Amino acid sequence: MFEIKAKDNRGRVGVLKTRHGDVKTPNLMPVIHPRKQVIDVAKYGADIVITNAYLIYKDEDLKKEAIEKGLHELINFDGPIMTDSGSFQLSVYGDVEITNKEVIEFQELIKTDIGTSLDVPTAPFVTRKEAEDDLEITLKRAKEAVEYKNKQNMEMLLNSVVQGSTFLDLRQKCGDELTKLGADLYPIGAVVPLMESYHYKELVDVVMNSVSHLPDSVPRHLMGAGHPMIFALAVAMGCDLFDSAAYILYAEDDRLLSTRGTFKLENLKEMPCSCEVCCRYTPDDLRAMPKEKRRDLIAQHNLNVSFAELRLIRQAIYDGSLMELVEERCRAHPKLLEAVRQLGNYKDDLEKYDPRSKKSAFFYTGPESLYRSEVVRHIKKLRKMPKKRDLIVLPPSRKPYSKFIRGKLGDFYIYGSEQEIDLDNTDFMVLDVPFGLVPLDIDEIYPLSQNDSPKIHDVSSIEFIEDFLSEFVEYYEQVLIHSKIIKDLGIGLYNKCLSDLDIVYKKDDVKKLKAIADYQFGIGAGDALFTGNINVEKSKKTGKIRHVYDGKVLIVNMRASDSYLILSKEGAKRLHNKMPYPLNRVIVNKDSEPFALDGKSVFCKFVVDCDYDIRARDEVLIVNEEDKLLAYGKSLLSACEIKEFESGQAIKTRKGMKK
């Protein structure tokens, strides 16, 4: 029903399959009032819409027509339609004249594609007792709806809504309980008041504590989120669908949506974008029009802006630049900036879903970038890397640093016990924003060379690298800090200068390959892969490593774009023989064994288990439950997603081990 096609952080481009067609996600469902359709939303890019089943049920004429003709003909939309159950009316009026079972039956009867159980929306900041009581009813009705749908063999997909107000443990509990029921989609409800009051920080907590307790294999819908300025942030948190009547409600009030906020027509001197409406009309033109015509044109603009933003977000996911877009968008309002900083508290959760390599370089846009998955991952890996006796810390240069470091390295300040320098027992690292310390032996691997940041550093980035350096040097007996770093950063920990030292960084291809392998596959991978008569073949044009052999037997290739190692058949064997189970492994069941041996791709439903540290685009080993090597390939999903999904491709197999 749902497959992931591309991903970045928790954001994913996916395909949701319904009986009235497939929907690419993330996507917006414009709200259509069953009696007050103003414009043809399909004409402006709507692939899926949402309407209110309860309003249809309460209107005898609409109800009769919907039963006779079906919902799609009633609202003149032939694509997928989601229906609300009357929960909104319940939250406004306190009661509705329909039962949970009746509304499920009715939604199936009128052939809705995605129906919703009658949950109880609980406003933010209510008492805990009220939130707990409402949640108990919501869970009871969700269970009743799923059981009834299954019993009746309904074709309709079913929403089960996550509630719990602003009590994060209740959101977690609701997510856990709903997951056990196995619904088809999971809306996150009762968040509109948070967005309307600019409580975006609290919105981040509510969404993250809901999403993290829902299955990755099912789409999530952020209910009532219709302003384009919030889309990028919500997608980065793992939301796949949005719905809103904002496009028409704002138009009724002469307000134009944009990714930077909302513009009132009365204040505009220039039109805010390059959509068809903004190109054809001036603010004076719109103000001079009859109310209905003006409303329809502004609604078209609002839809154009919303769908354009979603296209941009999907492209950012393909490129791997989603978080840069989030950081840019969240500077539109101080409360949004506060929200993206709050999202930094969930950096470890986001890292689990973030691909290890991306098409786009890492651009540092401000202090928020220090909490991105790439930085978090590098710091964790660096702390696990084996340490030599001494450390030499160098200032940044052109990237890759190792390519442009030549001759004597200059004057240094010393920290620790002063001893004779043994260059064979010394780690060479560059201190730079945003990755703290970058070992020269691995500096070409993504994103350590594929990044850029301003040369004028902000206070947060300076404090970040100072704090990290102060902590990291404790691993070493002797640390030499280049005098330029002391001068630029003003670090007071080091006070003795050593001049005219004969320190030269010696490049060693095998040493570099081993360091990259340890960084990529785990400690010990370098020694496992690169033994024997190692022969390194480089690009004549760039001088970068391309192929590595033992004699004439290929071990690995090095990918030019990110310097990650791509295993050959021999490389896969060596890594499998030396690295302990389950490192770097995806374990498949017996049904999948012959296909894997033949080099066929591995699908999620055949995966029994996998290494928890696998991320999308990792090189992996495919083994059976006895740890027999069957094949090797590239992961398309992270470990947590591979374990969750029952459909779709998990591993793009490079080669099977069948002789």
For residue 554, the domain's CATH number is: 3.10.450.90
pLDDT of residue 647: 86
pLDDT of residue 259: 96
Q: Are residues 548 and 584 in the same domain?
A: no
Q: Are residues 52 and 163 in the same domain?
A: yes
Q: Are residues 530 and 466 in the same domain?
A: no
**CA atoms of 256 and 234, how far apart (whole Å):** 21
pLDDT of residue 658: 85
Q: Are residues 265 and 339 in the same domain?
A: yes
pLDDT of residue 493: 63
3-state secondary structure of 197: coil
Q: Are residues 373 and 291 in the same domain?
A: no
Q: Are residues 399 and 492 in the same domain?
A: yes
Whether residue 18 is contained in a domain is answered as: yes
Residue written as tokens 């002391």?
486
**CA atoms of 322 and 432, how far apart (whole Å):** 23
pLDDT of residue 299: 97
- Count of structural domains within the chain: 4
Residue 143 contacts residue 129 (beta carbons within 8 Å): no
Exposed/middle/buried for residue 503 (C-beta within 10 Å: 0-12, 13-18, 19+): buried
Domain boundary among 329, 353, 377: 353
Q: Which two tokens stand for residue 477?
A: 């007996």
**CA atoms of 85 and 52, how far apart (whole Å):** 7
pLDDT of residue 250: 97
Whether residue 505 is contained in a domain is answered as: no
Mean pLDDT split into 10-residue runs, the chain, 659 residues: 94 96 97 89 95 93 95 95 83 72 95 95 95 96 95 94 97 97 95 96 98 96 96 98 95 97 97 96 98 97 97 98 97 97 97 96 96 97 94 93 88 88 93 96 96 94 92 92 85 75 90 97 97 95 95 96 97 97 97 95 96 96 97 97 92 91
Residue written as tokens 């809103």?
244
Whether residue 504 is contained in a domain is answered as: no
SS3 per residue for 29-82: EEECCCCCCCCCHHHHCCCCEEEEHHHHHHCHHHHHHHHHHCHHHHCCCCCCEE
Per the annotation, does 6 bind a ligand? no
Inter-axis angle of helices 334-343 and 200-211, to 10 degrees? 30
Q: Are residues 235 and 316 in the same domain?
A: yes
Q: Are residues 566 and 467 in the same domain?
A: no
pLDDT of residue 502: 84
Q: Which two tokens stand for residue 634?
A: 């590239």
pLDDT of residue 94: 61
Per the annotation, does 273 bind a ligand? yes
In the sheet with 27-30, reading across from the earlier edge strand, the strands are 27-30, 241-244, 220-222, 186-188
Per the annotation, does 610 bind a ligand? no
Q: Are residues 464 and 536 in the same domain?
A: no
Residue 618 contacts residue 654 (beta carbons within 8 Å): no
Residue 214 contacts residue 179 (beta carbons within 8 Å): yes
pLDDT of residue 410: 87
CATH of the domain at 170: 3.20.20.105
Written as one string, the DSSP assignment of 225-243 is ---HHHHHHHHHTT--EEE
Residue 146 contacts residue 72 (beta carbons within 8 Å): no
Per the annotation, does 190 bind a ligand? yes
Q: Are residues 79 and 95 in the same domain?
A: yes
Whether residue 503 is contained in a domain is answered as: no
In the sheet with 565-567, reading across from the earlier edge strand, the strands are 534-538, 545-550, 553-558, 565-567
- Phi then psi for 138, rounded to 5 degrees? -60, -45
Per the annotation, does 604 bind a ligand? no
Q: Are residues 568 and 645 in the same domain?
A: no
Active-site residue list: 84
> What residues make up the domain containing 553?
510-575
Whether residue 203 is contained in a domain is answered as: yes
Written as one string, the DSSP assignment of 399-453 is SSHHHH--SB---EEEEES-----GGGEEEEEEETTTEEEEGGGTTSTTTSSEE-
Q: Are residues 203 and 110 in the same domain?
A: yes
Instruction: Give residues with Cβ within 8 angstroms of 541, minimum separation 6.
Output: none
Domain boundary among 523, 557, 575: 575
Domain boundary among 353, 387, 420: 353
